[in-house]
Amino acid sequence: MNSEPFTKSCPCGSQASLDACCGRFLHGFEAAPTPETLMRSRFTAFATGTDAAIAYLVETHHPDFRPPNLESALRKGIGDTHWLTLTVRNAGAAGDSGTVDFVATYRHKGQMGEMRESSNFVREKGLWLYMNGS
């Protein structure tokens, strides 16, 4: 688990401090205004791995698509993976649905890897939620 201070650069790649960028979403000060912002803040949650970050990942995962053991799976797996970079390739929203295509690099047990996904989001009651990805 990574517990770097909020004065460090945000893991999402914005070049802003974590506090000024995704930290405000992770700690519930604001809701992510777009699917891309939610994707970046979720990446940051994976990268920081704090208890608050894990809670954020669960809360921002749409309940209809949320695995029943999501929190325990996150707690088990998050410590073995160090998320390094996020590149958003395409993002957009139309009405209350959106998609974000991204590439995330990571190191898992010493081995470098890359995750490519097209994530689907929906806005309900004014809040963007992650549904699924392919």
Other beta carbons less than 10 A from residue 111's beta carbon: 7
| Kind and range of the H or E run holding 124 | strand 111-124
Q: What is the mean pLDDT of the chain?
A: 93
Q: What's the pTM value of the predicted model, to 2 decimals?
A: 0.92
Helix axes 51-59, 35-48, angle to 10 degrees: 150
**What is the structure's pLDDT at 77?**
84
pLDDT at 76: 87
Q: What is the pLDDT of residues 100-109, one digit of tens each?
A: 999 999 999 8
Q: Residue 129 belongs to what H/E stretch?
A: strand 127-133
C-alpha distance from residue 133 to each of 4, 91, 99, 115 (Å): 28, 13, 9, 11
| Domains along the chain with CATH numbers | 23-133 (3.10.450.50)
Structure-token pair, residue 123? 């806005």
Cβ neighbour number for residue 96 with a 10 Å cutoff: 11
Strands 111-124 and 97-108 come out as antiparallel
pLDDT digits (tens, 9 = 90+) for 15-36: 899 999 999 999 999 999 999 9
Only one residue has tokens 């990942």, namely 57
Q: Could you tell me if 52 and 75 are in contact, meaning their C-beta atoms sit under 8 angstroms apart?
A: no
